[in-house]
Structure 1
Amino acid sequence: MYLEKFKLNGQIALVTGGGQGIGLACVEALAEAGAEVVIADRDPKLAAAGQAELKGKGLDTETVIMDVTDSARVTEVADELVGRFGKVDILVNNAGIARSETPAETVTDEHWLNVIDVNLNGTFWCCRAFGKHMLAAKSGNIVNIGSMSGFIVNKPQEQCFYNASKAAVHHLTKSLAAEWGARGVRVNAVAPTYIETPLNAFVKTNPRMYDAWIGGTPMARMGRVDEIASVVLFLASEAASLMTGSVVVVDGGYTCW
């Protein structure tokens, strides 16, 4: 009975920023559970490379080129996929950027707007476009990738723009959950800690930053992409059928201190 709740056979899923890192791990987790997954990425090479990597593991996926900041394109993709498959059951909003280590007083308009545009606006455009179809079907499941940075202020890197964008994603998650819960659509979020990805590899050559990151984590390590994807799979499945508006912190204990 319980293991069946984690299976996603017959479901259609889309993961934004799905070509690498946490996004690709989410694609793998959902596909392994039986879903037909579409990798959405703005970079055709990343999308193709991610698709090829999963093909090597025996998992078939599709790709679509989509920039989440282009609301018209997001709507077009949502409409096209529903036209093809008849539905989209699961949306994972993973696409995001950080551009950290910039003090607030030197943040340019372009910098601020770029991070907000990708992390917050892009998440909302996707929720809106795919959510309309889910509401019409009276069924759907959205998982947003937030961050522990939506709860705390990171150190030593300055990133007020990123922190604000992720806090907004968390509250957007709760707001949509409240609006759509009685209409069959669940909306939850995952708030990860620092994750071992190519983008974070630099920290191992920066002792001050690495010590702050790891010294502030009770588990004394960074997370892995599969550890985030596992929680996404749980939230996307019937195992989490009573959960909506939740922001699940997956941080190795970082926010405890």
Structure 2
Amino acid sequence: MTVMDNLRLDGKKIYITGGAQGLGKSMAEGLAQAGADLAIVDINLEKAQATADEIAADTGRKVIAVKADVTNPDDVDQMIETITTELGGLDVAFNNAGIVINTPAEETSFEEWSKVININLNGTFLTSQAAGKYMLEHGGGSIINTASMSAHIVNRPQPQASYNASKAGVIQLSKSLAIEWAKKGVRVNTLSPGYMATDLTLNSEELKPLIDIWNDWAPLGRMGKPEELQGIAVYLASDASSFATGADFGIDGAFTAW
């Protein structure tokens, strides 16, 4: 068995929340290219289905679309049941759904704060919990939770206290789960991207003025490309990362190394 063999995902069953677009879609493409069968989970079923159809056509893998609200426990339980039934199991849970609201802290309503925390942190707990229960009963697995470099730094110039707090919580939650499940066959890690040049970011009127500022501060002088996260996604989903658990993998072009 070579290292390249260990990186293959043939036969693995994986879901990714927030997988219909952006970073989730790009990482889903990489996982399918490495041989995995996928469930694209999103609140927008139409977009999820379009992404699933596109990836299936490009890779020849089985890819299904599942609608779920990650903040709703019943939705999450049904999501796991649907995925395990239609894919025939679950080896890797990729909890990637998240949002950001840029509002100064003194102007942030409790509704805005709660929305960010509910999707980013509570949603990650519910999906990790549900996937973990299944994996504990079926021989183990790998859970990957998307955090952010914003868990480690305070971004500038945009105000995003709720997002930063939620993503720091994702890392500590994931470490806690990793310790609880370490001897039970379930690995839990986090992926912390830096600024990434998704279509949504590049075309956002709100964010366009910030891109030059971010690039000026970036050691590499640019944002990351979505496909530059595919390698770490495949690694964490694969048997090559069998000794990796409770770790945070920062892919930010050294932005947090200042």
What is the alpha-carbon root mean square deviation over aligned residues?
Answer: 1.7
What's the secondary structure of 2:250's corresponding residue?
A: strand
Residue type of the alignment partner of 1:73 = D
Equivalence for 2:81? 79
1:63 aligns with 2:44: no
Q: Secondary structure at the match of 1:138?
A: coil
Residue 84 of structure 1 deviates from its aligned partner by: 4.5
Distance in 1 of aligned mates of 2:204 and 2:68: 30
Deviates more, 1:108-117 or 1:41-50: 41-50
Partner in structure 1 of residue 182 of structure 2: 181
1:72-151, aligned counterparts within 5 Å?
72-100=74-102, 102-151=103-152
Give the distance between the partners of 1:190 and 1:33, measured in 2 at CA.
Answer: 18
Map 1:214-233 onto structure 2 (within 5 A): 214-233=215-234
- 206 and 239 in structure 1: CA distance in 2 versus 1, 3 angstrom threshold: closer
Q: What percent identity do the matched residue pairs reach?
A: 40
Going from structure 1 to structure 2, the CA distance change for 1:205 and 1:122 (only over 3 Å counts) comes to: closer
Measure the CA separation in 1 of the matches of 2:132 and 2:223. 33
TM-score, length-scaled by structure 2:
0.94
Partner of 1:255: 256
Q: Which moved more, 1:171-180 or 1:229-238?
A: 229-238
- For the residues of structure 1 that align with 2:84 and 2:210, how far apart are their CA atoms? 45
Whether the 8 Å contact between 2:28 and 2:38 is mirrored in structure 1 is yes
Deviation at 1:170, TM superposition (A): 0.7
Give the 5 Å matches for 1:13-24: 13-24=14-25
- Counterpart in 1 of 2:38? 37
Per-residue CA distance 1:156-203 (angstroms, 9 max, x = gap): 000000000000001111110000011000000110001111221147
- Rate the CA distance shift 1:4–1:208 in 2: closer, same or farther, 3 A: same
Q: Distance in 2 between matches of 1:234 and 1:69?
A: 28
Matching residue of 1:153 = 154
- Segments of structure 2 that go 5 or more residues without pairing to the other structure are none
The one-letter amino acid of 2:192's match is A
Unaligned runs of 5+ in 1: none
Question: How far apart are the structure 2 equivalents of 1:222 and 1:199?
Answer: 13
Contact kept in structure 2, 1:87 and 1:134, CA below 8 Å? no
1:101-156 Cα deviation digits (max 9, x unpaired): x1000000110000001100011100011110101123110011110000000000
The count of corresponding residues between Structure 1 and Structure 2 is 256
Deviates more, 1:137-146 or 1:58-67: 58-67
TM-score by length of 1: 0.95
In 1: Cα distance, 2:88 partner to 2:54 partner = 27
Alignment partner, residue 213 of structure 1: 214
Q: Which residue of 1 aligns with 2:194?
A: 193
Q: How far 1:216 sits from its partner (Å)?
A: 1.4
